[in-house]
Amino acid sequence: MHGQGVVKGYAIGKAAVMSAAALEVAHYRIAPDDAGAECDRLKNAIIIARDELQHMAATLPDDAPRELGPLLTVHSLLLDDPMLFQQTCELINERLYNAEWALTSQGQFLAEQFSLMEDEYLRERAADIRQVIERVLRVLSGSTALLSNLDVDAFNDPFIVVARDISPADMLRLRGGRFGGFLTDLGGPTSHTAIVARSMNVPAVVGLGHFRALIRDGDTLIVDGFSGAVLVNPSEQVLAEYRQRQADYAAERAELALLRDAPAMTLDGIAIKLEANIELPEEAIAAVEAGADGIGLFRSEFLFMGRADLPTEEEQYQAYASVVKTMGGRPVTIRTLDLGSDKTLDGDVTVATNPALGLRAIRYCLANPEIFATQLRALLRASLHGHVRILIPMISHMHEVHATRQAIESACRDLDERGVPYGRDYSLGAMVEIPAIAIAIEPFVESLDFLSIGTNDLIQYTLAIDRGDTDVADLYDPMHPAVLRLLAHTINAGERAGKPVAVCGEMAGDARVTKMLLGLGLTEFSMHPQQLLDVKKEVRQAHTNALRVKVASALNRAERIDLAALS
């Protein structure tokens, strides 16, 4: 069977099939006189389920994945919503459904409403609705067992949980068990199963369709978290092959883990900075754990998305300051709001003719000075706690740099007037993601403190390929000589002026192109924390000066670079 692999790794073990109350509850009609009592039964079950979730959130063990607390709170809030009880009770009164039937119908209705939403984050909330309803159904049925009574000690291999979906609360209960993998019928890469499994580092495949119904407790399963394949009751030969893969992968990870504290230094003694990209403040912990030299890109727009209102100055300050404090003196690059194009505010229905070329990022911020000023004040306040590097996205003109500086000066004046303390030791840089500035980079290098190349957008604009359009995805080519020449030109300009230049697009975290980037002269890479050690390994095996000669000669001839020839 094939699903979507969301946590890499291999798992081999026996299936432990999780109960799915929503699929198993009885549906029957009640007598009109019993409707009141049925509503009470429902109300009690909702209260019990909510109290359980609140209790779990309040008494989380220290070693529980840190994502669980907020997720449990969201689930208890969903149960707190009086609409859930009222509308389900209406179904009981009007249609004389039993409580379980009414609740399943209401749950399906709500989940469908969410799955129709355009915003991916809100669509995924359909899963939260299903999960809290599953919990109430379990209370109604009086059965709290998640898994049938498998003898956990009877097997050498850990169990593989097979479920319709796994809620955060289920994850908490399963934690500590000998589970080697998670398989679910529902869910995508941002589902809770994926998030929590990732933080537990347990291979997981989601979106398997009707897999759960086909599997029996004790079936032997192989989970391939790379390809998303799941093999059921495989032959001895296949098992042996996967055991070998599992052992090789474990050895590779163990070898990489040793690199955490090793310097990112090339064979010819050039020190390379490896930083982390994050989207939420909590992810800074993963950056520290991976040994990152700093945060090279905090995509601040994620604080603004998936909500109806805008985050206040105080809320933003807390978020930025928490990252700065977590990084303990290492630099933190916070990108100002990059909205428009593929990322929009909730309820923003403006449809630009071509949003990727429209009012996005710095253009949006300069057109919405209040939103921009609030963010700048929060950034300046956060820079009191460490070194903040303010990064402006999508710069195409020098006057945008001047306007940003004026906006920062005005934010400083506002804070002075209010008597609010802030740090003055910040630096100001720009994303290089529009070909125009990569070509005419000199004035930008001169007037800014640093540059960061956003290859994701730079490639899209250079090759006129929409980065989100699957029909042209095969033409999205990071190795196109034109793209590489723009990178080289920007890096060289930075080098001449003594200003740092980083790459923070996906290319920076792709260990297959690390040597090529070193050959272009790059000394700062920013990537997802999980990619950092793979890249460090490449760095430590590279000889920059030899690579520079090879890469420069290919670029002069505008030839494609042969990656194999660089290793």
- Contact region for Mg ion (CB under 5 A) — 3-11, 218-226, 253-261, 451-459? 451-459
Chosen from ligand PEP, Mg ion, none, partner binding at 538 (C-beta under 5 to 8 Å by type): none
Tokens 């000394």, located at residue:
523
Structure tokens at 40: 């009470």
Minimum Å distance from CB 364 to ligand PEP?
13
- Identify what 455 binds: Mg ion, ligand PEP, none; CB under 5 to 8 Å per kind: ligand PEP
Catalytic: which of 192, 365, 385, 489? 192
For residues 409-448, which are near Mg ion according to CB under 5 A? 433
Is there a catalytic annotation at residue 39?
A: no
Residues 306 to 345 in contact with ligand PEP, rule: CB under 6 A: 338
Stretch that binds ligand PEP, among 150-158, 442-450, 452-460, 537-545 (CB under 6 A): 452-460
Q: How far is the CB of 342 from ligand PEP (least distance, A)?
A: 8
**Residue 454 is a binding residue for Mg ion (CB under 5 A):** yes
Any contact of residue 106 with ligand PEP (CB under 6 A)? no
Q: How far apart are CA 154 and CA 217, in angstroms?
A: 13
Task: Return the one option of Mg ion, ligand PEP, none that residue 299 interacts with (CB less than 5 to 8 A, by type).
Answer: ligand PEP
Structure tokens at 377: 């004040």
CA distance 243 to 222: 9
* Residue linked to tokens 């019928």: 185
Q: Given the DSSP bridges, would you call strands 332-335 and 501-503 parallel, antiparallel or unpaired?
A: unpaired
Interface residues for ligand PEP in 486-505 (CB under 6 A)?
504-505
Residue 505 binds which of ligand PEP, Mg ion, none (CB < 5-8 A, kind-dependent): ligand PEP
Q: How far is the CB of 503 from ligand PEP (least distance, A)?
A: 8
| Near ligand PEP by CB under 6 A: residue from 38, 224, 283, 457 | 457
* Cβ proximity of 301 and 348 under 8 Å: no
* Contact call for residues 166 and 52 (beta carbons, < 8 A): no
Q: How far apart are CA 470 and CA 484, in angstroms?
A: 23
Q: How far apart are CA 121 and CA 561, in angstroms?
A: 39
Site map (CB under 5 A) of Mg ion, residues 272-291, x = contact: --------------------
* CA–CA distance, 72 with 171 (Å, rounded to integer): 10
Which residues have C-beta within 8 Å of that of residue 41, sequence separation ≥ 6?
99, 140
Residue 325 tokens, joined = 């404090």
Q: Does 184 bind ligand PEP (CB under 6 A)?
A: no
Catalytic: 504?
yes
* Residue 115: contacted member of Mg ion, ligand PEP, none (CB under 5 to 8 Å, by partner type): none
Q: Is the dihedral of CA 550, 551, 554, 555 positive or negative?
A: negative
Q: What x-and-dash track marks residues 139-158 binding Mg ion by CB under 5 A?
A: --------------------
* Binding partner selected for residue 22 from ligand PEP, Mg ion, none, CB under the kind-specific 5 to 8 Å limit: none
Question: What is d(CA 449, CA 494) in angstroms, rounded to the nearest whole number?
Answer: 10
Of the candidate spans 132-140, 166-174, 179-187, 455-463, the one that interacts with ligand PEP by CB under 6 A turns out to be 455-463
Run of H or E residues at 6: strand 4-7
Backbone angles phi, psi at 271, to 5 degrees: -80, 130
Least distance (Å) between residue 127 CB and ligand PEP: 25
**Residue 487 CA from chain centroid, whole number:** 26
User: Which residues are known to be catalytic?
Assistant: 192, 504
| Chain residues that interact with Mg ion, rule: CB under 5 A | 433, 454, 457
